[in-house]
């Protein structure tokens, strides 16, 4: 992978560690003048020379994007890079940082390793969601984590029908409904009691959040499946994409969910990976040790 121009993505109000990360990158850039670094306008007050402030259009000409923050920042970066196939290096300046590859304290060493070629790249599958009104697609989104279907009124439950490859699957009555990618399986899906999917698994998972029936459980479906979801009653629903964008699904309309041709590419360092993330970030340390 050619690495001569690197873009930086972050939101200055998200983390106290962000300024330190920017300073670390600037110091590294001064010592490596063959690599140029740029950042978007939200980082204007934090960026220092030789980091340049550029437009989003210019940022998308980068060979690599460094996302500094929590998993939300990584999701925003994936959305920004959609269709451009720019690999992303996540730097955890948030809490869990499940999608991050390195910490702020280790950033300088990580940059050394990346530019020495000591890394690999992993592609993550995504979901296309198309909103259909009277047979025509009126809106669409592509997500890395999940599509969240919920009632417009926060105190109400959702009552939705789900079709699987053109055949009725079931009618869900729950607080809300999630359709998640393997990447999203460790996010809201996990909190809602859904299964963890290994990132390369060619599957998605449908998870009802607090369903009214105890017989309704999360369902893992193959990635080649096409799901059609619509309200079972005459009320509009909210569709939330990766926790970032909300669209309204009107009565009579439906949303069609399928595997996307797009993907998100993450930079992975040696001796890291999904198994390590389970142990270190989710606390999978095994049974308690005897004193």
pLDDT recorded at residue 218: 96
- Which band of pLDDT confidence, cut at 50, 70 and 90, is reported for residue 275? confident
- Which band of pLDDT confidence, cut at 50, 70 and 90, is reported for residue 153? confident
Tell me the chain's radius of gyration from C-alpha atoms: 21
Sign of CA dihedral 249, 253, 257, 262: negative
pLDDT recorded at residue 271: 72
The backbone torsions φ and ψ at residue 18, rounded to the nearest 5 degrees and listed phi first, read: -60, -45
Q: How far apart are CA 144 and CA 127, in angstroms?
A: 7
Average pLDDT over residues 2-22: 86
pLDDT recorded at residue 238: 97
**Domain assignments of the chain as residue spans, ordered by start:** 5-117, 126-261
Beta strands in the chain (DSSP E): 5-9, 36-39, 52-53, 64-69, 88-92, 102-103, 119-133, 136-143, 146-151, 158-164, 167-180, 203-211, 219-222, 227-231, 237-241, 245-249, 254-269
pLDDT recorded at residue 227: 98
CATH (residue range 126-261): 2.60.200.30
| Apex 163 CA angle, 259 and 211, nearest 5 | 100
- Tokens representing 243 are 């926790």
Q: In CATH, which of 3.90.180.10, 3.40.50.10330, 1.10.1740.10, 3.40.190.10 is domain 5-117?
A: 3.40.50.10330
Strand partners, 211: 174
Smallest CA-to-CA distance from 127 within 240, 232, 238 is with: 240
pLDDT at 98 over 90: no
pLDDT recorded at residue 55: 95
pLDDT at 166 over 60: yes
The backbone torsions φ and ψ at residue 230, rounded to the nearest 5 degrees and listed phi first, read: -150, 160
pLDDT recorded at residue 14: 57
- For 177-225, what is each residue's pLDDT tens digit? 999 999 999 999 999 999 999 999 999 999 999 999 888 999 999 999 9
The residue with greater pLDDT, 25 or 273, is: 25
pLDDT at 291 over 60: no
The residue with greater pLDDT, 282 or 227, is: 227
Give whole-number Cα distances, 159 to 23, 149, 176, 258, in Å.
50, 10, 9, 21
Instruction: Write b or e for each residue in 200-226: b if 16 or more Cβ atoms lie within 10 A of its Cβ, otherwise e.
Output: ebebbbbbbbebeeeebebbebeeeee
- Tokens representing 154 are 């926060």
Confirm whether 71 is a catalytic residue: yes
Beta strands in 134-253 (DSSP E): 136-143, 146-151, 158-164, 167-180, 203-211, 219-222, 227-231, 237-241, 245-249
Catalytic residue from among 17, 45, 63, 71: 71
pLDDT at 290 over 90: no
Sign of CA dihedral 24, 30, 35, 37: positive
- Tokens representing 2 are 């050619």
**Cα of 17 vs its chain's centroid, Å:** 21
Cis ω for the linkage preceding 213 (within 30 of 0): no
pLDDT recorded at residue 289: 60
Per the prediction, the chain carries an average pLDDT of 92
Give whole-number Cα distances, 140 to 68, 200, 254, 262, 273, in Å.
27, 24, 12, 13, 31
Average pLDDT over residues 257-271: 94
Average pLDDT over residues 42-60: 94
- Which band of pLDDT confidence, cut at 50, 70 and 90, is reported for residue 286? low
pLDDT at 131 over 90: yes
pLDDT at 164 over 80: yes
Strand partners, 273: none
For tokens 């979901």, the residue is: 127
Average pLDDT over residues 118-124: 94
State in Å, rounded, how far the first CA of the chain is from the last one. Answer: 49
Q: How far apart are CA 8 and CA 80, in angstroms?
A: 12
């Amino acid at each position: 992978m050619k690495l001569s121009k690197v873009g930086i993505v972050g939101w200055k109000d998200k983390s106290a560690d962000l300024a330190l990360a920017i300073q670390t990158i600037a110091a590294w850039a001064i010592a490596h003048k063959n690599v140029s670094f740029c950042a978007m306008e939200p980082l204007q007050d934090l960026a220092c020379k030789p980091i340049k402030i550029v437009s989003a259009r210019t940022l998308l000409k980068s060979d690599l994007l460094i996302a500094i923050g929590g998993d939300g920042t990584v999701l925003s970066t994936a959305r920004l890079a959609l269709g451009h196939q720019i690999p992303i290096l996540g730097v955890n300046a948030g809490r869990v940082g499940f999608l991050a590859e390195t910490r702020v304290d280790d950033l300088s060493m990580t940059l050394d390793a990346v530019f020495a070629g000591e890394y690999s790249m992993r592609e993550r599958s995504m979901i296309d969601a198309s909103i259909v009104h009277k047979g025509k697609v009126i809106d669409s989104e592509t997500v890395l984590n999940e599509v969240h279907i919920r009632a417009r009124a926060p105190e109400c439950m959702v009552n939705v029908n789900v079709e699987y490859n053109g055949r009725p699957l079931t009618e869900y009555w729950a607080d809300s409904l999630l359709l998640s990618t393997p990447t999203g399986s460790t996010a809201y899906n996990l909190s809602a009691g859904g299964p963890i999917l290994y990132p390369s698994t060619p599957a998605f998972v449908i998870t009802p959040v607090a369903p009214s029936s105890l017989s309704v459980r999360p369902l893992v479906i193959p990635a080649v499946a096409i799901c059609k979801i619509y309200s079972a009653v005459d009320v509009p629903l909210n569709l939330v994409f990766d926790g970032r964008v909300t669209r309204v699904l009107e009565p009579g309309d439906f949303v069609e969910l399928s595997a996307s041709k797009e993907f998100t590419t993450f930079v992975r360092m040696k001796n890291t990976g999904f198994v390590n993330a389970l142990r270190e970030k989710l606390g999978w340390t095994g049974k308690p040790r005897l004193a």
